[in-house]
Amino acid sequence: MNIQKGLKGVVVTETQIGEVDGTEGKLIYRGYDVRDIASSYTFEEIAHLIWYGEFPTIEQLDQTDFMFKKYRKLTPVMEKVLTSLPENMTAMSVLRTVLSAAGDDTFINKPSIEEAIKLTAVIPTIIAYRFRLLEGKVVVPPSKDLSHVENYLYMLNGEKEAEELVRVLETYMNLTMEHGMNASTFAARVTASTESDMVSSITSAIGTMKGPLHGGAPSEVINLLDELSLVDNLEEHLRAKVQSGQKLMGFGHRVYKTIDPRSVAIKNLLISLVGKDEWLDLALKVEQLALKVLQEEKPGRSLYTNVEFFAAAIMKAISLDPSLFTPTFSASRMVGWTAHIMEQAEDNVIIRPLSKYIGK
């Protein structure tokens, strides 16, 4: 019996949604190289592309925009749950719990684009509501006029943000909407394959995204950089970590065996946004040294910078609280998750692998 631990190298389905080319270092959404579209299209336009397979016409975009604005409000059940959760619950657990409370009758339908928009539109509202509640600030209801990303920042900060800042966050979110058969997308597809509903599939995905080896990495990157900001010999410190078996957060990838194209795009965006800055200088220095150490300590493993390393930096540069990093990543990945759930439902076979019994 051939066992592929972690399903390494196993192809579980065909997909028309996206392709991660780990050898060439390319990420494709519906035929488009993400580097060519991430900074020149809006979140709504790229979401439309991922859901429908084509960029929208003006009329179609109006309709998608309209739906995003229509579904931003929390349902009464979601609001009730949000206000009853303990303060020490992490943002991702809150997101998982509140979204799961969306599983009332209005949401339990066959997976559809309308349902995908409903869920994608409401996520920023859940994140911002909880954030302001914890900060002891008045909750800001969603605006009916702003774009998806503008509205997210508006609900978090209580004022309309500068266009440049919105574009930076939007570019990051556009770069991270879809990423092939990553762990959380697979989790969503497994749940969808049982003919369960979209809310349950997304709840599975959020629970998977939360882990530090997947979407939880950006906060760990900040911890790593904070720790390194206090030491003199960076290289020695990084080497000691790797030698003691620790993973350097923000490096390595299951599929990319070359540079993660998203990390390059985010790094360039960051350099143009921040310019000269002590913290960014540290991040750039740590990246170079970490790559050197990984090459020397783990030869032949092809370990490069992944999206999370600079994602953490970009979110810090636009003053997003670290507790919001993984929820923000999830808010953009909602588009990929929902697209995969619909694709799974279209030609469904229940996902049910085998295990080899080695017990008594």
Ligand X SMILES: CC(C)(COP(=O)(O)OP(=O)(O)OC[C@H]1O[C@@H](n2cnc3c(N)ncnc32)[C@H](O)[C@@H]1OP(=O)(O)O)[C@@H](O)C(=O)NCCC(=O)NCCS
Q: Looking at 178, 308, 340, 343, which residue is catalytic?
A: 308
Six-digit token string for 260:
């993660």
Tell which residue, 131, 142, 176, has the closest CA to residue 306: 176
**In the complex, which residues of this chain contact ligand X (CB under 6 A)?**
6, 213, 217, 242, 247-254, 294, 298, 301, 303, 306-308
Q: Specify the residue, 74 or 290, whose C-beta has the smaller distance to ligand X.
A: 290
Q: Specify the residue, 129 or 186, whose C-beta has the smaller distance to ligand X.
A: 186
Whole-number minimum distance, CB 285 to ligand X, in Å? 17
Whole-number minimum distance, CB 271 to ligand X, in Å? 21
What is the SS3 assignment for 283-341? HHHHHHHHHHHHHHHCCCCCCCECHHHHHHHHHHHCCCCHHHHHHHHHHHHHHHHHHHH
Enumerate residues 6+ apart whose C-beta is below 8 A from 226: none
Point out the residue whose Cβ comes nearest to ligand X. 252
What single-letter DSSP state applies at residue 5? G
Q: How far apart (Å, rounded) are the C-alpha atoms in residues 183 and 188? A: 9
Q: Specify the residue, 72 or 179, whose C-beta has the smaller distance to ligand X.
A: 179
Q: Specify the residue, 4 or 84, whose C-beta has the smaller distance to ligand X.
A: 4
Q: How far apart (Å, rounded) are the C-alpha atoms in residues 48 and 274? A: 31
Q: Looking at 44, 253, 287, 343, which residue is catalytic?
A: 253
Whole-number minimum distance, CB 251 to ligand X, in Å? 4
- Is 237 considered catalytic here? no
- Is 308 considered catalytic here? yes
Whole-number minimum distance, CB 239 to ligand X, in Å? 11
Q: Which residues are catalytic?
A: 253, 308
